[in-house]
Amino acid sequence: MDIRVDMRSDTVTKPSPEMRKAMYEAEVGDDVYRDDPTVNRLQDKAAEMLGKEAGLFVASGTQGNLVSVLAQAQRGDEIIVGDMCHIFNSEAGGVSVLGSVVMYPVKTDRHGILASDLIHAAVKPRDYHKPPTKLLCIENSHNNTSGQVISPQATKTMADAGREHGLRVHLDGARLFNAAVSQGIDVKELTAPVDTATFCLSKGLSCPIGSIVVGDADFIEEAGRWRKILGAGMRQVGIVAAAGLVALDSMVDRMADDHVNAKKLAEGLAELPGIALDPNEIVTNIVRFGVPAGTGDKIAAHLKEQGVYINGGDADLRMVTHYGVDSEDIDFTLLAMRNVMSEVA
């Protein structure tokens, strides 16, 4: 059967017709000379929306985190990360490979929060046996805790704990707008407590490529230098940035639909035999659920035969709603899951 619903990730989204038109018509220049007016507009707009001085367009969320860390921690420095965060688990150890920066993982609670006492305990005393701690990294929404959101107050509490020791604070906001829309707040409230932040254009915002890094002007200059070192100084990249401008105007409020669809999906899944899931915990577009040990790959394979595409696994599976998934697709998925689980569970 053809794939009808692809919920492997929100990265599978395709650009909207309005984005394609804007990309076709984009005014461009050489961005390494800072001459691309579309990139400049996107960077300024994103920085303004997130309440920071300046912005930098980068190729991916991974690259955004990488340049953010490398601009704020030197070779031999240490950064504090959550043990379930994307930087620590899913970015191929890039900050260590390319920057010789040590990552110190701290236990993450089920809401994606790092407790203040754990942050305090993680900071190394000044001692030449130890790597100096320079940066605290947090993540919102939190992918591995099923898209949990962190409030402005909880963000401030974590940031304050780091600041007590002179740390700077970086927010991996790959899905930052999901976190803001879910809480019904301005995204600035989530970025105010941190020094630097990234968000992805290529996830729920549905652009084909790109992320934005924001912070003060000095930091952005340094992050731009690291982007160049990484070989990612791009030229007429306004072609791509044009989609980002459309996304910031037209794709943010729409994310509420993705959250409604995710909640409906979670409520339906929770009723099926063999599925472990609390729908009350689903507040954005990521639905993670437990299945009997060893059945995840089989469930994913059977679902694919029925036209629903998700990643496999052992006892944990994930479905992610996005611009390409509507309410009927959720009905279709739940029907397919009912069939599959009656075979497997």
Q: Which residues bind ligand PLP (CB under 6 A)?
A: 60-62, 65, 86, 139, 143, 172, 174, 200, 202, 211
156 Cβ contact partners less than 8 Å away, ≥ 6 residues apart: 192, 193
**What are the distances in angstroms from CA 332 to CA 43, 261, 268, 325?**
39, 12, 11, 11
| SS3 letters across 25-47 | HCCCCCHHHCCCHHHHHHHHHHH
The nearest distance, CB 253 to ligand PLP, in angstroms, is 21
φ/ψ region of 87 (left if φ > 0, alpha if ψ in -120 to 50, else beta) reads alpha
Which C-beta is closer to ligand PLP: that of 31 or that of 172?
A: 172
Which C-beta is closer to ligand PLP: that of 87 or that of 340?
A: 87
The nearest distance, CB 98 to ligand PLP, in angstroms, is 14
The nearest distance, CB 200 to ligand PLP, in angstroms, is 5
Query: Would you give the distance in Å from CA 41 to the centre of its chain?
Result: 22
Question: Phi and psi dihedrals of 126, rounded to 5?
Answer: -70, 110
340 Cβ contact partners less than 8 Å away, ≥ 6 residues apart: 299, 302, 303, 306
Which C-beta is closer to ligand PLP: that of 200 or that of 341?
A: 200
H or E element that contains 13: none
The nearest distance, CB 143 to ligand PLP, in angstroms, is 4
Which C-beta is closer to ligand PLP: that of 133 or that of 285?
A: 285
Distance separating alpha carbons of residues 126 and 269, to the nearest angstrom: 50
Which C-beta is closer to ligand PLP: that of 205 or that of 265?
A: 205
CB-closest chain residue to ligand PLP: 61
The nearest distance, CB 171 to ligand PLP, in angstroms, is 10
The nearest distance, CB 35 to ligand PLP, in angstroms, is 25
Which C-beta is closer to ligand PLP: that of 16 or that of 285?
A: 285
Cβ–Cβ under 8 Å, residues 108 and 140: no
Which C-beta is closer to ligand PLP: that of 310 or that of 337?
A: 310
Which C-beta is closer to ligand PLP: that of 94 or that of 290?
A: 94
The nearest distance, CB 29 to ligand PLP, in angstroms, is 25
The nearest distance, CB 36 to ligand PLP, in angstroms, is 20
Determine what percent of the chain falls in helix, strand and coil, rounding each to the nearest 5.
45, 15, 40
Radius of gyration of the chain measured on its C-alpha atoms: 20
Cβ–Cβ under 8 Å, residues 318 and 249: no
Q: Extract the tokens encoding 51.
A: 């309440």
